[in-house]
Amino acid sequence: MVEEHSQSLPPVRITRVVAAPLLGESPPGGWSNEIRPEDSIHTLIAVHTDAGITGFGSSFTDGRLAMAALAQLEPLCLGENALEPARVSEKLHQNTFWFGRGGTLTHAISGIDLALWDILGKVTGLPVSILAGGRHRDRVRPYCSLLMCDPAEMGETVARYRAQGFRAFKIGWGPFGRRDDARLDEAIVAAACAALPEGGQLLVDAGASDAYWPNGLKWALRTAEMLAAHGVGWFEEPLVPDALEDFVTLRRTARLPIAGGEVLTRRQSFLPFLTQGAFDIVQPDVTKVGGLTEQRRIVQTAQDFGVRYVGHGWNTALGLAADLQLAAAMPGVDLVEYIGGSAYLDDLTEVPFALDAEGMLAIPDAPGLGVRLDPDKVAKYTPRVAELFDAGAGA
């Protein structure tokens, strides 16, 4: 008889949580109140442990807000076992209802949760995709996410990134839908279509979560017809984020898929949109919704309703790494978002992301999120690089 032995990993205790705002190269967002390079939009999160292992995550929020959130969240983390990301993240959610569900606190929890999954992978020697359920694929197609501009420049911009190997593109925000000029909107889309590679794909994002979005359902219905005629793959954020009934009407009427959900946080916010049939494609952002723990639950629920998942990924190299891991772990995921020309995506890691000959991205199989931040590169974009990489610095 063979004697069986059970083994368990000893706890890895959290000793410190650090937020490091990224500054100096913040990419423009096409917002009506435009982002400046020196603005803080994305924040890196580090979770340090007594085992000397640090996990890294990313939060889509101003670094000052993230640091304020950690004043509430860090005491709840200290001494917890970093190998239990789902339990620790739920503790953070459950103990911060009083401050309001969603917003900065949930965005900050997202970064912590990603860092905990990164630690779990590093300790076990496994990529997050295996820990999250397995690897359905080893590579996935990125779509290059670009701001809209006037037609001549739009075609040139798509052509420039086409030359870098991208075969799928999303254009959005900028002048689209904001100048009350349907002919301009169509000319922008036509110029982008003309610049696509053979067999390429174009997606369109109206960006109706912008401040004071001027259009409603009738504009969305007319624009959806125009986009369908041009063979656009989906129409994203065509309505203000809370217009649930209008989303349902548009989705039932439009001849192309309707996508949305990037500003929603936590799984509870997605349920009305899924149960009432508001989206063909749901787009939670892993750096906003509560991290990979929440994202996975949202994706699984969406798939139960027959709704396709493509994560919103307008964030950082760590956000993309998390999106890639989830793209491997979940069935039916065929696209990830890749910001065109963002230093926070292209210039933070030791090994930059690179497209293969078919315009695909390999999904990292190294432990954790599968990428390693380069301290020298990160130092160009945050004054808190020492605290990010050294648990004792600045304490």
Is residue 4 situated within a structural domain? no
CATH number for 285:
3.20.20.120
Is residue 180 situated within a structural domain? yes
259 shares its domain with 112: no
User: Is the pLDDT assigned to residue 244 strictly greater than 60?
Assistant: yes
196 shares its domain with 225: yes
| pLDDT for res 4 | 46
157 shares its domain with 302: yes
CA distance 248 to 109: 30
176 shares its domain with 98: no
269 shares its domain with 344: yes
Is residue 2 situated within a structural domain? no
Contact present, 49 and 82 (Cβ < 8 Å): yes
Mean pLDDT calculated for residue range 121-136: 97
Give the residue with greater pLDDT, 394 vs 42: 42
Please count the other Cβ atoms lying within 10 Å of the Cβ belonging to residue 137.
Answer: 17
Residue 154 is inside which H or E element, if any?
helix 151-162
Q: How confident is the model at residue 6 (pLDDT cuts 50, 70, 90)?
A: very low
With the C-alpha atoms ordered 137, 139, 141, 145, is the resulting torsion angle positive or negative? positive
Residue 60 DSSP one-character state: S
Provide, rounded to the nearest whole percent, the portion of the chain with pLDDT above 70.
Answer: 98
39 shares its domain with 148: no
Question: pLDDT tens digits for 319-375?
Answer: 999 999 999 999 999 999 999 999 999 999 999 999 999 999 999 999 999 999 999
Contact present, 298 and 284 (Cβ < 8 Å): yes
| pLDDT for res 180 | 81
Question: pLDDT tens digits for 264-283?
Answer: 998 989 999 999 999 999 99
Is residue 194 situated within a structural domain? yes
Mean pLDDT calculated for residue range 140-153: 96
User: Is the pLDDT assigned to residue 5 strictly greater than 60?
Assistant: no
Number of domains in the chain: 2
Is residue 233 situated within a structural domain? yes
Find the angle CA(112)-CA(64)-CA(384) to the nearest 5 degrees.
Answer: 70
Is residue 6 situated within a structural domain? no
110 shares its domain with 144: no
Of the candidates 346, 251, 363, the residue with the CA atom closest to the CA atom of residue 307: 251
Q: CB burial class (10 A; 0-12, 13-18, 19+) of residue 79?
A: exposed
Quote the mean pLDDT of the chain.
Answer: 95
Is residue 369 situated within a structural domain? no
162 shares its domain with 31: no
Residues facing residue 204 across a β-bridge: 171, 235
Question: pLDDT tens digits for 214-242?
Answer: 999 999 999 999 999 999 999 999 999 99
294 shares its domain with 179: yes
| pLDDT for res 2 | 40
CA distance 222 to 95: 45
207 shares its domain with 340: yes
Close Cβ partners of 108 (under 8 Å, ≥ 6 residues apart): 19, 43, 45, 59, 61, 65, 66, 69, 70, 73
| pLDDT for res 283 | 97
Provide, rounded to the nearest whole percent, the portion of the chain with pLDDT above 90.
Answer: 90
For residue 319, give its domain range. 132-362
Q: How confident is the model at residue 3 (pLDDT cuts 50, 70, 90)?
A: very low
Question: pLDDT tens digits for 200-219?
Answer: 999 999 999 999 999 999 99
Contact present, 6 and 74 (Cβ < 8 Å): no
Q: Position of tokens 């690179």?
A: 354
29 shares its domain with 71: yes
Is residue 252 situated within a structural domain? yes
| Rounded alpha-carbon distances, angstroms, from residue 80 to 50, 114, 133 | 11, 15, 24
159 shares its domain with 124: no
Contact present, 140 and 335 (Cβ < 8 Å): yes
